[in-house]
Amino acid sequence: MKAVVIRAHGGLDALLAEEKPIPAPGPGRVRVKVSAVALNHLDIWVRRGVPGHPFPLPLTPGCDIAGVLDDPGPGGAGPFRAGDPVLVAPGVSCGVCEACSRGRDHLCRHYGILGETCDGGCAEYAVVPAANLLPFPRGLPPERAAAIPLVFLTAWHMLVERAGVRPGDLVLVHAAGSGVSSAAIQIARAFGARVMTTVGSAAKAAKALELGAEEVVPYREKDFAAEGRRFTAKRGFDVIIDHVGPDTWEGNLRSLARGGRLVLCGSTSGFEVRTDTRLLFFKNLSLLGSTMGSRGELHEVLRLVEAGTLRPVVDSVLPLSEVAEGHRRLEAREAFGKVVLVP
């Protein structure tokens, strides 16, 4: 089969197109014929490498897989039969520890992500744990279904589980064009919150408004904290959803309302910040970290996708052979929503 393989970290030329044997599913695992696989910022970290963090190279990246169950493996695949369309949950866990038993599999000490800690879906076939199969959302083509799992799970967990978003909350979502943010705007709106968002280019503003944002701030031209004071009539935001980190940190703390919650799921502008601790206690702030979410939350997301409340945002669909162009689009921040590859 054709597969993308990373043998050494590096630039776009680290994404090798190789022929590999079609993998066989062992116990507890199934084989999926990949119809579409979405790229995430995670794929860029896996390609470039992260200092001090080992990846099991060589590795086939790609964690957001939509496809057809090809071989249910020796143990079967629960309610799924060979030939069924399936969506694959990106997180892999041990399935037996206390966290897994409580349905908090993302807190499992053995948690990993397809395409990061084991081979993923940038290939014609992928072998995944049977427990990761999700019902395919009715009525969606695979290129749109593949755009759902990682970003909607991440955004749902940030807003619903970590921040406890409520009707009427004022929510700031940074960088509307990113996959997580395009999902977060919709989820916040679905819970009755009001959303201000930021964009890097005017072309992205109309799309952010379409997703339900009430106010869109071009962050290169305007100070988001000043715009936030105006939007919230000096009250501040109840919830801020961020993956930028240092560049937005001090503005975020100033922009939170009393009792406000800042949720961080990434840090694209660096890793160290300065915090005025007086803001924390005087304003009763909560600083929350978040990575992925439980598989059960993905089932909730999929029900709302089928109901039409949430919709995957696809920037572009490319053949798998153009994976490097997909990475380039993401790194250059040209995309609005997901870049999806089709084998």
Q: Which residues bind Zn ion (CB under 5 A)?
A: 93-94, 97, 100, 108
Strand duo 91-92 + 112-113: pairing: antiparallel
Q: Which is nearer to Zn ion, 108 or 330 (CB)?
A: 108
Nearest residue to Zn ion, using CB?
108
**Residue 279 near residue 303, CB atoms below 8 Å:** no
CA-based nearest residue to 263, from 107, 157, 106, 148? 157
What is the token pair recorded at 183?
A: 């999902």
Q: Rounded to the nearest whole angstrom, what is the least distance from the CB of residue 111 to Zn ion in the complex?
A: 7
Among 70, 158, 58, 48, smallest CA distance to 115 is for: 58
- For the bound state, the minimum distance from the C-beta of residue 290 to Zn ion, rounded and expressed in Å, comes to 18
Shortest Cβ 30–Zn ion spacing (Å): 19
Closest CA to 62 of 34, 22, 86: 34
Helices 295-306 and 149-156: angle between axes, nearest 10 degrees: 110
Q: CB-based burial of residue 221 (10 Å sphere; 0-12 exposed, 13-18 middle, 19+ buried)?
A: exposed
Closest CB to Zn ion among residues 103, 139: 103
Contact 34, 126 (CB under 8 A): yes
Cα separation, 325 vs 17, whole angstroms: 13
For residue 139, the one-letter residue type is: G
Supply 265's token pair.
């799921």
Specify the residue, 108 or 340, whose C-beta has the smaller distance to Zn ion.
108
Rounded to a whole number of angstroms, the minimum distance from the CB of residue 115 to Zn ion is 19
> Could you tell me the smallest distance in angstroms from the CB atom of residue 129 to Zn ion?
12
Closer of 93 and 248 to Zn ion (Cβ): 93
Q: How far is the CB of 53 from Zn ion (least distance, A)?
A: 20
Nearer to Zn ion, 109 or 166 (CB): 109
CA 286 to chain CA centroid, Å, is 22
Quote the least distance from Cβ 154 to Zn ion, whole Å.
Answer: 19
- For 101, the enclosing helix (H) or strand (E) is helix 98-101
**Neighbouring C-beta atoms of residue 119, cutoff 10 Å:** 21
Cβ-based nearer residue to Zn ion, 108 or 320: 108
In the complex with Zn ion, the residue whose CB is nearer, 113 or 176, is 113
> Smallest gap, in angstroms, from Cβ of residue 118 to Zn ion?
15
CB nearer Zn ion, residue 91 or residue 236: 91
Q: CB-side exposure of 18: number of CA atoms within 13 Å? A: 15
Cα–Cα distance for residue pair 93/164, rounded to 1 Å: 25
